[in-house]
């Protein structure tokens, strides 16, 4: 009901016969992008104004994504599904400045733009001055990430660009430094090796892992501080491997317990196939 209410609120004349031809053109255009029928309804529900967008305006965005951002035409639909409002953005006032920032300020090479955008299309909805630049400046100026490493880190985990400095990144840094005890000067190295760690929630992810490792698995906080990258692994992986090793009467170093690939872990320790 809420989606229907939102739709009628955004497009009050949706049932007006006089406007229906234009809306059919918009729907046909979205379908030709390769958006499945079920996803098409979700896109309209999330951004009803798509129905009033001209095909010409939406085409400009699509052609920009293909020609400048180098998104394969067959994958444009994935970006639109993730962020349907993108089709209403101005290429020159909105989208182009963001790509320029990523290339010129962050150092993302043009050929790496497409993989980054496919991982995190929402970056195109962020403000350069309000979101992107403050986050990048915090990573480099406050956490000490070298500019040479910045592009690689953000290409691997572009979701970091969507994290606010005050409401998110500083909270994680405070937890890692003040509560866990990791020296502040090590944060840049941790970001280089495990950037995904900084995309995780303190309350829902990092704290439960530390609690399990210390209280149930018997590792010390000092061991976690030595290899904090282990916190980037899933809690299910950590629990499963600890349980398996405990039942075998084995205990590994913290890093070894989680860092082996599944195949390598099974080859080394699971000779009876118990982990499968």
> Average model confidence (pLDDT) for the chain?
90
What is the mean pLDDT of the segment spanning 95-103?
Answer: 97
| Structure tokens belonging to residue 172 | 């994680």
The Cα 24–Cα 16 span in angstroms is: 12
Rounded to whole angstroms, what are the CA distances from 223 to 185, 204, 218, 255? 18, 21, 10, 9
pLDDT above 80 for 248: yes
Record the pTM. 0.84
The total of other beta-carbon atoms located within 10 Å of residue 249's CB is: 6
pLDDT of residue 8: 45
Average pLDDT of the segment spanning 219-232 = 94
- 52 has pLDDT over 70: yes
CA distance 62 to 76: 7
pLDDT of 17 > 60? The answer is no
Q: Report pLDDT digits (tens) over 107-120.
A: 999 999 999 999 99
Nearest to 87 by CA among 114, 39, 118, 51: 51
| Distance (Å) of CA 63 to CA 33, 36, 114, 211 | 11, 20, 14, 49
């Amino acid at each position: 009901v809420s989606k229907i209410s939102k739709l009628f609120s955004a497009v009050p004349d949706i049932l007006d016969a006089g406007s229906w031809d234009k809306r059919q053109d918009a729907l046909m255009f979205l379908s030709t992008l390769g958006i499945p029928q079920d996803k098409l309804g979700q896109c309209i529900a999330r951004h009803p104004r798509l129905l009033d967008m001209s095909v010409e305006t939406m085409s400009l965005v699509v052609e920009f994504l293909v020609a400048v951002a180098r998104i394969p035409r067959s994958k444009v639909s994935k970006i639109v599904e993730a962020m349907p409002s993108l089709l209403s953005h101005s290429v020159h006032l909105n989208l182009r400045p963001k790509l320029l920032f990523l290339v010129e300020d962050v150092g993302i090479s043009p050929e790496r733009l497409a993989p980054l955008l496919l991982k995190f299309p929402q970056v195109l909805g962020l403000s350069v001055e309000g979101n992107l630049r403050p986050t990048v400046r915090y990573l480099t100026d406050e956490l000490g990430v070298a500019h040479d490493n910045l592009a690689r880190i953000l290409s691997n985990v572009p979701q970091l660009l969507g994290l606010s400095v005050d409401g998110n990144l500083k909270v994680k840094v405070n937890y890692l430094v003040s509560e866990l005890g990791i020296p502040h000067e090590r944060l840049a190295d941790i970001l280089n090796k495990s950037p995904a760690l900084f995309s995780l929630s303190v309350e829902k992810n990092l704290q439960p892992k530390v609690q399990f490792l210390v209280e149930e698995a018997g590792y010390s906080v000092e061991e976690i501080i030595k290899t904090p990258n282990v916190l980037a692994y899933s809690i299910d992986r950590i629990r499963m491997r600890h349980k398996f090793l405990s039942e075998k009467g084995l205990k590994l170093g913290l890093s070894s317990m989680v860092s082996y690939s599944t195949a390598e872990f099974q080859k080394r320790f699971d000779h009876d196939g118990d982990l499968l």
